[in-house]
Every structure is written in structure tokens, then in C-alpha cells.
Chain A
């Protein structure tokens, strides 16, 4: 089965979707090196022709061909790439130029996209979806500038299929696949975020309802507004620099809506809590949130005297860490008791929106590399560390799955990778220590920026005063 997988993978890496995790996990590091390099070489060759940014980076770094993994390192995107447009274009609503810029970051041809009717970011994103293969992802960054990541419809669809596979092949405490049959299993999915809008999660929620039935998804908010998200970052940065912020009149016109959404916030949180307590009690549910939110929920339930809230084959998927970066001791035990689920039903994942993969923590508390990436650990000068032993540094990867977007990305995460010592859980892949921290927080005397949530409130305040 492994040989069959390798053969197919060499031809089409997206076949990872069709193989059971047991097969993927049985591939030893190094075994895929030749295939990885060959796939990367092909990806580079086509990108040189159809991704202008890659051609530019290759030129600046004197890279003509990829003959070793390290040749790809200067070609990795960073978060900076996705916000390398001039801010004035966004403020003036110059979506024509933004489209041209975006087209240079990926292999899609965006030259025919008509943005003349676009006034807001939301309009622009909709125009791109309607007229091109690109569905852009927006995110706010600490320096106040919005990042726009181009991804094709096909790439998003693949990612959602991978996520769905994760749910379908989940195992219970006894090691049996719990399964998820369309038309048979109607499992409510609770997401502690917004149903629609700026986050990539909304695309998965659509697929879930398409596959398992309308009305199964329950979220905290209706919509996460891209324009407001972008404005929030801008205001924070402008107030830091003492600059005036220009707000487009189209956005100003919507300030009453925004005020209402903001005022509803606590009531919505409370209403979801009540639904989780009453409507879903004793049922099998899937819940997606951060560790912090899931923990907060459990603490609240415990205070109310609730134990064993849900069916044991429920799943709780937790991304990112705790608000202050510190895991409360025994948090998992506390949570499982209240929620009535086995510890294995709490899945702590590591992923990011730039990735078409996610890693789940194994029983030995380690994240395992998926077969579909070439991982890197970079030193403080962004030079690759040896692919052996244990290495600590900035995590980067070349994702072999995207064909429109560029798969190379250097994260802001600090990781420790064990390359060649197999994990006690039995998987053979290289693996990461947990927890994973941000690069910046490891430097002393650096004060980190406020989170997005706080900034959004600032933005709302600002709009209401305008």
C-alpha cells in the first residue's frame, strides 16, 4: 500500500486525500525525498513561467533551478508578501491595481477581472470569486496592514475535503472509526466564530452543510466583515503613528449596522452558551474553537454543576493556544470530565491559513509532519538548519499541493523539529514539539501587539465617533 501511495503521490500529491492516515503515517522521513524534490522542481519550473513574484524572487536571489531543498528557501513567501501592495490603493479603493498586484502573487490570470463596481473589500472579494478562479483570504496583521492571500477555488475545496476527512475518519477511545455518513449522521457543528465572511472556516462550514444537511452549523456570529477587519488594523497603526485615518464614505455609511453587531456581542455569546447547554445536551456534536474558548466553556459548565454534557463520540477541535500563551495545568482532564468525552476527542491542531494541511497532536503530545509538505527549520538569519537530529527555529514549509497559489511559506512560528528519532506513538514522520510559540515572543524586551479582537472594538468606536 505504501508503494502504491508513493507511486501515485509522485504523480499527483493530492492523492493524500484518498489514503488512510495509517498509510501516510507509515512513510519514513527521507523515503519521500526524491519525490518531494522532483515535485518541487516541477512546481518551481511552472511558477517561473506563471507567477511573476516567484520569477522576481528567483532573480533577486540568483536562483535558476531547484536542485536541493535549500534552493527553495529564498523563494518562500512570508506574511509580508501578502501585504506588499501600497496602502493608499486600499484606502482609495483602487481595486484595479490591487487585482493586478494580486495576480502577480499567483498563477491565476486576473487581467480580465472587472472591479469598476467595487467600493469595498467585500465587493472586491466577491468580484474575484465571480470572475476568476481566485477566492482571496484576508487577514489582519500586527502592523495594521491587511494581508490578502490568493487561493483558487480548487485549493479551497481540497482543504475542506481534507477537513471533512478528518471528521469522517475520527476514532473513538476504543480506536474505532466513528464514521460520518451523509444522509445518516446529522451531527450539529458548533463553531465559536462567524458563519460567514473573512475567515477560511466559512468555506468549510458551507461544505459541511452541503454534505450533511442544512441547519447543522451553529455559530457565534453571523458574519465577520472584511472591511471592518482591515480598518481595525489601520486605525491601530495610525493611532500609534499619530496619523489621520481616511475612512471611505461607503464604510462610514454602515456604522449603525456595525454598532448593532457590537452591542449584540455579549447576548450572542450567552445565547450560544444556552444552546450548547440545552439544545445539544447529551448529543454528539462537533465543536471548533480555540483552547481558550473550549476551556472557558468547560469552566462555566462546571460552575453550573454540569458533567458529561455530550455524547462520548463528540469531537472538540482546538486551534491555537491560550490567550496568555500558558496552558492551565490539567486543563484537558477538567474539560473532558465536564464535557463527557474521552481525552482523545479533544484534538489540538496546528495549522494556518497559508497551509493546505493541518497536524493533530498525537498521544505523545507531538505534531506530525504531513507527507504533502517539505518542512524546514530556519535559523535567525533565515538560513535552513540541517534536516537531522533536533532543530529549533522558524518553521517553514513548501506545500506541494497548491497549483495556483505558491506553496512555499515561512511562518512566524518557533518550533522544535525532531527529524530522525521516531515518535513513541508509532508514526514515522518527522515531528514537532508542543507548544509552538511565536518567533517574536522569544526575544526579550519586545512588547507584543494587542489582539485583533481589541482592535476591532477600537475600530467600531472610531467609526461611531466619525
Chain B
């Protein structure tokens, strides 16, 4: 049955070496192009255009396959080749393992692409938190305090559309989005005080749209909301660090546009941050943080340093950067990655390595056999 299947044109095409080579060449071109593109447009834009896309338009009108598509085709080609071309024979075990390893690598890449989440946490010495922030996604956060208990409602900035009403299930307020700019400038006018029909805590009187930056972290959003209850505009800007409050129907509501927060499976507290430099130089030798982590009523101290992250379930906490304010306050910045497929590359590399080793040894023996049979023939 396998043999019958093998002869069908479509199947034949699926395991053809020509398809393999075509995919590899396309991938090589995309890699080179995407690398050069990075120099001018930044990593994020290059990734979005060449590497995580299915298609992209070259020069604005020629559709070309992106790396996601090419890798998917290569993935199918690989499976088909393993079944129909290489075959499950013992003498091909090395070859088979090598390709199986690459298959796992592609699966791992796909997993990471779909499910991995990256966020960041910045802590001052003595501070603790069980929330991390997104690198570049924003949210509108609204809250009110009732008898000492804080009630929250958060909406992702991406879900806010112009002229649409925001639905707050727990709050009996009516808010409409007047403007939502992905990248904006905010202006404080010294001449003018904030007018009576406008609310903002940091004295902002207008928000203008700006062109979006290819590096998403450079974009700071602006939001103009309209309270139907108060008949007033609420101006919010991503660069603000204080919230704007408004009294609506007898309750004080607080509004803040901030980086999207993610709940962590544990609470992290920074006890101490240390930085070591080589004597007589500004070259940083190492930096590390002593943190206290608390989860399920368990408390322990851990040191997180460069090249030595903290692993917890599918989360990994890395010592990423640090910041020291002119006043000498030390902040430690942790990168947090949630990736359930993170072990796949490790498995894959071991499989490929064993595969290549076996393949090479078998080749060597086969060569020797051929040589000796040739000599016998002579």
C-alpha cells in the first residue's frame, strides 16, 4: 500500500528532494534579506515581515512566501521524506534520527511561535510583585475602591475601537472611545488650564496622533474617552505615571493607561541587587539579584544572575538588565518567559547529534567495506 501511495504524483512531489532544496534556498534568501532589513528597520519589523509571516509583499506588490510558510512546507516535506524516501530501515537509522531531530526542532519553533509569552518585571530593592508587564502591549485599567476592597476592570488597548462603547460588566458607567492612537504625543499648555469639560491628572490638554514606530516599544499610546454620564472627555496617555480620577454616580473611578499586566504564578520580592565591575574599569563582570519567592504559602530565597535563571513550572525568570537612578536607587529588571515547549530544542539537538554521529560512522564503515571489496576485485 505504501508503495502504491509512493507513486502518486502529489505524494511524489511531497517527498521530492527538489522541493527540499527549493525550500532551503528560499529560507536562505529570507534569512539574508531579513538580516539586512534589520539594520534599517529593527528586529521586530524584520521578524514580522520575513520570519513570522506566511506571505509578504516585496516592493509593495510582489507576493512572496514568508518563513512561516516555507518552514511549514519543509515540515511536511520532511515527514513525507521520512516515510517514503528514507524509510524505516535499520541502516538508515542515523539519517532518520537526524531528520527526526530537525522535525522536533521545527515543532519546538512552532510551539514557541504560538504559545510563548514574554514579559518584564522591574523591581526596586525591597519591592515585591506577582505581576509582570508586557514589553509593548497596553491596557486601559479602571478601578474603584469599595470599603477598602479594590475592584478592577482591564481592557486590552487593542480591543478599544474608535466611537465604540466600552462594556464594564461590574461598573454601572457609560464610557465611549473618542480617539485611540497607537502612538501619540501629549501636550501640556501652560497658557491654558485644563478646561472644565476635560479630565486629566497630569495636566495634559491635548493628545495628537503620531506615526507608529517600527520598534513597538517606542510607541506610546494615547486615549480620549468620553464619559456619557459626566459629558466630559477623559484624556489618558501611556507616558503618565499617575491615574486620572472621576466621580461618577457617587463613586470615585480611577483610569490609567498602562502596560498590559500578566499574573505570575508566584510572588517575587527583590531583597538585594549586586553589581560587580572589574577593578579599575567600567566593564561589568556580573550582576545578580537575591529574590524571595513566595508561592502556595512557601517562601524561599533564590539568586538570579546572568546565565543562571530561575525556573518555575513553564516560567523562567532571567536577570535581564538593571537601572541605577542618579540618586543611587537600584532597580533590577527581570525578563520572564512562559514557554511550554522550551525543552524541545534540547531533545532535538541530542537526537540530531546522535543521528549525525551514527550516520557518519555507518558511512565510514560502508566506505571501508566498499574499498576492501574493490581491492578484492582488483
A and B associate in one complex: no
